Amino acid sequence: MFANGFWHDIQVSFLEFFWGMLIAAFVGIGVGLLIGWYKTLHAIIEPFLTMLNAAPRVALIPLLILWLGIGLQSKIAAVVLGAFFPLAISVMKSVRTLDDTLLQCARSFGANDAQVFRTLILPNSVPFIMAGLHIAIGRGLVGVVIGELLASRAGVGHVMAIASSTFQTDKLYVALIVLTSFGYGLTKLVEVIESHFNSWRSQ
């Protein structure tokens, strides 16, 4: 199986997931910080963010394929769609729950917005970012697999679609094991990073 292009399928799915998560992380963390920090933005955007987070985003993946085609772009967009919301909402909550006493203390020493972000908000946001990543990883993988199952030329989901339609149970199991192992490995990596940060923070 691995000699017949399966490594290529794994690479395709990995690239789709990697770029989707990278975009979701940058945009989600940035949006979460802005919405959490600026009260006007929070009042306007937070209800829509919460509403969209509750929506069945998997149902939008066929539209992404229709708009962006069956290539990498639609799968990357599916990952972003799944991973963006838990990250943005987690970071937003981290900013909103920041201790007002610490903020007032920083302001009394003349700290500007950039200094407050760097010394208070970002360190306080890391545990929330990690919690958001735990959810985002699972949702991102779902986006990749559903997108590839629906319409794709390559990828682990593409292999699963062909294997299920041709009753190749062995290939289906291998694809499931690969996806499960990948998700488990990423989750453990996030836990290691989180534990290192917590040990550094306690010092």
The pLDDT tens digits along the chain (203 residues) read 555 678 889 999 999 999 999 999 999 999 998 898 888 888 999 898 888 888 888 888 888 989 998 889 999 999 999 999 999 999 998 888 877 777 778 777 777 777 777 778 887 888 888 999 999 999 999 999 999 999 888 889 889 999 888 888 888 999 999 999 999 999 999 888 888 777 665 55
Indicate the length of the chain as a whole number. 203
Q: Would you state the pLDDT for residue 201?
A: 59
- The first and second tokens of residue 85, run together, are 């919301």
Which amino acid does the sequence have at 171? K
Token pair of 70, please?
């069956």
3-state secondary structure of 74: helix
pTM of the model: 0.87
The whole-number pLDDT of residue 11 equals: 92
Q: What pLDDT was estimated at residue 116?
A: 78
Domain ranges of the chain: 2-202
Residue 182 confidence (pLDDT): 92
Give the CATH number of domain 2-202: 1.10.3720.10
Sequence letter at residue 112: N
Q: What is the dihedral of CA 146, 153, 160, 16, to 10 degrees?
A: -50
